[in-house]
Amino acid sequence: MMAEDWMAPKVDAERDVMVKRARTARLIVICGYVLMTFSFTGVIVLPCFDLPFRRLTNLTDRDRPLPLQTYYFYDTDKSPQFELTFLIQAATIFFAAITYTSVDAFLGLAILHICGQLENFRRRLSSLASRKDFDCALRNSVIAHLRLIRFPQILITIV
């Protein structure tokens, strides 16, 4: 539905509203991924250089701390076990962060898209009475309104 909204012919004011909302969504996505990169660096990369991000006071911390603090059923201080556990934890944290940030970015984009469409719809309604083809414009407005109502319902079923 978003692609259809971008492809539909619109006046310059409507296009400007949609571009403004898209830029805002893009900025939110960039900020989310930058924050995710800093978090990943602090949790995964810095401990590789013996600069742990968390406070090491728990009994589960041994000679070589891992990013995720928990009880392990094997000795994590030995060389191959430590590196494999560290690599698995780093990959898990990375994929979880990507998934979390991507879902948030998509939902933010969808909300901003709906806001832009509602703003465009409000502009169309305000100029509805002065149009010559009132019946056709009213029919198109009702169709657009029903479409805007269905869009969040479709998003809820997807997510």
Model pLDDT for residues 41-71, shown as the tens digit of each residue: 888 888 778 777 766 666 555 677 778 777 7
Check residues 60 and 126 and name the one with the higher pLDDT: 126
In a domain, 67, yes or no: yes
d(CA 9, CA 32) in angstroms, rounded, equals 32
State residue 33's pLDDT score. 92
Give the number of other Cβ atoms within 10 Å of residue 76's Cβ.
19
In a domain, 4, yes or no: no
Instruction: Note the pTM of the prediction, 2 decimals.
Output: 0.74
Check residues 66 and 115 and name the one with the higher pLDDT: 115
In a domain, 92, yes or no: yes
In a domain, 136, yes or no: yes
Asked if residue 34 has pLDDT above 70, the reply is: yes
In a domain, 64, yes or no: yes
**What's phi and psi for 69, nearest 5 deg?**
-90, 115
* Mean pLDDT of the 100-122 span: 89
In a domain, 100, yes or no: yes
In a domain, 3, yes or no: no
- Confidence grade of residue 90 (pLDDT, cut at 50, 70, 90): very high
In a domain, 7, yes or no: no
- Confidence grade of residue 144 (pLDDT, cut at 50, 70, 90): confident
The residue range of the domain holding 133 is 13-158
d(CA 127, CA 116) in angstroms, rounded, equals 17
State residue 56's pLDDT score. 64
13 and 123 Cβ atoms separated by less than 8 Å = yes
d(CA 144, CA 1) in angstroms, rounded, equals 12
Check residues 64 and 27 and name the one with the higher pLDDT: 27
Domain count for the chain, please give it: 1
